[in-house]
Amino acid sequence: MSCINSFKLFKIKQMKKILNLFIFVTIFSVAANAQSDYKSGIGLRFGGYYDLVSASYKTFISEQGAIELNLGFRNYSFGGFSSYNWFVLSASGAYQHHFDIKPVPGLKWFVGGGLTAYNSFSDFDATSGFGLAIFPTAGVDYKFASIPLNVSVDTRPTVNIIRADYYSGFYFSGGVAARYTF
């Protein structure tokens, strides 16, 4: 066998090893991505009682477990004979445990619980002060396959532990969120 043929055979064996490694890495990458639809997302959440609009960040800490953090506000304005305004700033955090809905890829339902801290700012004493509330949460979460977008709908029946004078002990709250995923 000539030196040139030996060199060609050596190169072919190297190329086969590289090709096999490439195929293995590709299959492994696809399998790893199939385990989770997305790792994290950032966007907006609309519709909470304390936070009509909030910034929303959600990240998965395990294959099924996620943490959602929201920082939001709500502005109340009333006119008439005795007009007054007040503003609520809130922060909330929740743990969510997700379950696949098998017929639809990217669709999951979740349950969990969390905590909301809020402060109402107003000249009217009955609507100002600090509050702390707990809530169970449940909802659905969908990650679009072709674009980096996630939407979710949830409910958060909220029980006030510490409350400003105006707020009652219980509020049925919920929201809709849209997030850019990465």
pLDDT in tens, 57-110: 999 999 999 999 999 999 877 665 556 678 899 999 999 999 999 999 999 999
Query: What letters, b where the CB count within 10 A reaches 16 and e where it falls short, cover 28-41?
Result: eeeeeeeeebbeeb
Domain boundaries along the sequence of the chain? 1-35, 38-181
Which whole number is the average pLDDT over 112-125?
Answer: 89
Q: How confident is the model at residue 31 (pLDDT cuts 50, 70, 90)?
A: very low
Q: How confident is the model at residue 123 (pLDDT cuts 50, 70, 90)?
A: confident
Q: What is the pLDDT of residue 165?
A: 65
Q: What is the pLDDT of residue 12?
A: 62
Which whole number is the average pLDDT over 137-165?
Answer: 94
Determine whether domain 38-181 maps to CATH 3.30.43.10: no
Note whether 182 and 157 are within 8 A (CB). no
Terminal-residue alpha carbon distance, the chain: 54
Q: Which residue has the tokens 């190169």?
A: 11
Q: What is the pLDDT of residue 3?
A: 55
pLDDT averaged over every residue in the chain? 83
